[in-house]
Amino acid sequence: MNRLTIYDTTLRDGAQREGVSFSVSDKLKITQRLDAFGIDYIEGGWPGSNPKDIEFFRKVRQLDLQHAKISAFSSTRRAGIHIKDDLNIQALLAAETKVVTIFGKSWDFHVTEALGTTLEENLAMISDTVAYLKETGREVIYDAEHFFDGYRYNPDYAMATVRAAQDAGADLIALCDTNGGLMPFTLQDVLRYVQSEIHTPLGIHLHDDAGMAVANSIIAAEMGISQIQGTINGYGERCGNANLCTIIPNLQLKMGIAILQPEQMDDLTCMSRYVAELANLNPQDQVPYVGDNAFAHKGGIHVDAVLKHAHTYEHIEPALVGNKRRVLVSELSGKSNVLYKAQENDIDLSKDTPETKMVLDTLKEMEYQGYQFEGAEASFELLIWKALQVHQRLFDLIGVRTIVEKRGNNGEIISEATVKVRIGKQEYLTAGEGNGPVHALDQALRRALGEVYPELKHIQLVDYKVRVLDGKDGTGARVRVLIESRDERKKKSWGTVGVSPNIIEASWIALVDSVEYGLMCANKTKMKELRKAVRQFRMEG
């Protein structure tokens, strides 16, 4: 059997997802990343549809790609015109790719209703286009659009379309589930018949409207398909396309089908998030293999077992796909969670000690109040220091005040904050303005601390979230504020949390934790002192 190839259509099909619009620069960067990752075919776009794709194909020729083949995409010739007069086909050739992918209609309903032509003319369109492109020396992939729906309603005509592509010389025929409703048992029956009738290598192109795209792709691979088409992170129109970030590790790690080199596979998570970043989309936490929660453990029993043997609750080693194990801390935590998190943060605790129970009891009490440490690991580490009474405050708050003022019905809202802190024996009183009270607090606190802690200028607040904990209390409800901060010098990010019925107080708690933790991390001597103090606490205990 020929090697199974992977065909990526993120730059075209994936870009049809709502909210995604890749620039030419984005597309070139993703192309280079997919090539290094080991993708066999990269579909760059439809050069006949827009100037952006024309520019992409002009610039992609300048890239020094090591593995991937670039494919340009188009439709068969239009009905009733000569192939050489079709502007889409000429634009396809002008892209100068060695591989071209064209799609044609397999469903008679689409031929008569969407194209408005005859069934015979549609067969001629497929045959003429494939043959013409083969004459130019291209490798031709034919996408049989709506094949499975076409086969369902008129199997004879659906088969006639793929035979037309085969007879014209197509190098590969991809059977498409364009509406995304294909069930695995139907796939098996249809694919088995097509394989008995068509000798041209077959591929599969699946959409995920029934949630079956990955499963159907895996089944097709098991049945000997030659190519799987899909997108990174499953991006695509409506419910998306088959997710290559799930398919590829399933093929290689579960089925033993060689797709990538091991050193390429461990780039999977990073590559997934890289594409998400360029797509301006948040990575999906719950997806298999590459999601932030794919190897996250919360229940105390689970964590205890994982610490003894990872395979008790993990189907693969996270590092194989470039991900990592995460242990979450919450009211469901046991001592094992606390122990693991302490070790992860280089804090020396042991399981059967009073201080571990002290940390766990403090944690559960704070969670009862509404705290959540799953996205606030910096606050968790500070919690340990405070519970063990080894925390050394970098500053003391004397007072804080905020003013929000709006003048007139159409006047601008002005936010001001005043902060007074003590560092050692010196007091600092500063004010700040911002586009809201929290922004003003951040500015005022930075000014108060900046003279003594100049490294604070490298620490930036990058995300701010507010969650109402109990909506039935209305505007008097407790709120939880999560803040994410980052030190660009160290390329390090951390989260902190604050809870209060007052949103300003909750924000202040999270903000202070964020600043303290960032300054601690920037001061290696302070961090060593803290961890030495924890060890001393244990010995004295």
Beta strand 5-8 pairing with 227-230:
parallel
Looking at residue 367, its pLDDT comes to: 74
Residue 421: strand pairing partners: 397, 428
The pLDDT value given to residue 269: 93
- From the list 395, 518, 393, 391, the residue with the least C-alpha distance to 456 is 518
Assess if residue 84 is contained within a domain.
Answer: yes
pLDDT of residue 339: 66
Do 99 and 71 contact (CB within 8 A), yes or no? Answer: yes
Tell me the sheet residues that pair with 241.
207
Q: In this structure, is residue 9 part of a structural domain?
A: yes
DSSP assignments along 110-158, one per residue = HIIIII-S-HHHHHHHHHHHHHHHHHTT-EEEEEEETHHHHHHH-HHHH
Residues 95-130: tens digit of each pLDDT: 999 999 999 999 999 999 999 999 999 999 999 999
Phi, psi of 52 (to 5 degrees): -60, -45
Question: What is the structure's pLDDT at 361?
Answer: 77
Cβ-based burial of 245 (10 A; exposed 0-12, middle 13-18, buried ≥19):
buried
Higher pLDDT, 384 or 405: 405
Q: What pLDDT score was predicted for residue 141?
A: 98
Residue 332 has pLDDT above 90, yes or no: no
Per-residue pLDDT, 265: 94
Report whether 419 contacts 441 (CB < 8 A). yes
Model confidence pLDDT, tens digit, residues 491-510: 788 889 999 989 899 999 99
pLDDT reported for residue 223 = 97
Reduced to 3 states, what is the DSSP secondary structure of residue 288? coil
> What pTM value is reported for the model?
0.72
Q: Which of 102, 101, 123, 99 is nearest to 111 (CA)?
A: 123
Average pLDDT, the chain: 88
| Assigned domain for 367 exists | no
What's the pLDDT tens digit per position in 462-481?
888 888 877 556 656 788 89
What is the number of residues in the chain? Answer: 541
What CATH number is associated with residue 31?
3.20.20.70
Q: 121 in a domain, yes or no?
A: yes
Closest CA to 476 of 499, 498, 500, 501: 501
String of DSSP letters for 451-482: TT-GGGGGEEEEEEEEEES-GGGGGGS-EEEE
Q: Over 70: is that where the pLDDT of 512 sits?
A: yes
How many domains are there within the chain?
A: 1
Strands (E), 166-246: 172-177, 202-206, 227-230
The Cα 173–Cα 179 span in angstroms is: 18
In a domain, 443, yes or no: no
**Backbone phi, psi, residue 440, to 5°:** -65, -40
Confidence bin at 388 (pLDDT 50/70/90): confident
Q: Which two tokens stand for residue 46?
A: 């439809």
Split at pLDDT 50, 70, 90, the class of 461 is confident
Q: pLDDT: is 487 or 534 the higher one?
A: 487
> Is there a contact between 433 and 440 (Cβ–Cβ < 8 Å)?
yes
Residue 187 is part of which domain span? Answer: 5-260
Q: Residue 420 and residue 400: Cα distance in Å, rounded?
A: 6
- Residue type, position 40, single letter: D
Please indicate, yes or no, if residue 177 is contained in any of the structural domains.
yes
Q: What is the average per-residue pLDDT within 56-66?
A: 95
pLDDT tens-digit series, residues 152-200: 999 999 999 999 999 999 999 999 999 999 999 999 999 999 999 999 9
**Which range among 74-88, 362-376, 379-393 has the greatest average pLDDT?**
74-88
* pLDDT exceeds 50 at position 541: no
Instruction: For tokens 């929660």, name the residue.
Output: 293
Least confident residue range of 68-77, 107-116, 168-177, 323-332: 323-332
Supply the pLDDT for residue 298: 72
205 within some domain = yes
Collapsing DSSP to helix, strand or coil, 406 comes out as strand
Higher pLDDT, 381 or 140: 140
Please tell me the distance from the alpha carbon of residue 292 to that of residue 451, in angstroms, as a whole number: 38
pLDDT > 70 in the chain, percent? 87
Residue 422 in any domain: the answer is no
Q: Is the pLDDT of residue 5 over 90?
A: yes
Task: Please say if the pLDDT value at position 297 is more than 80.
Answer: no
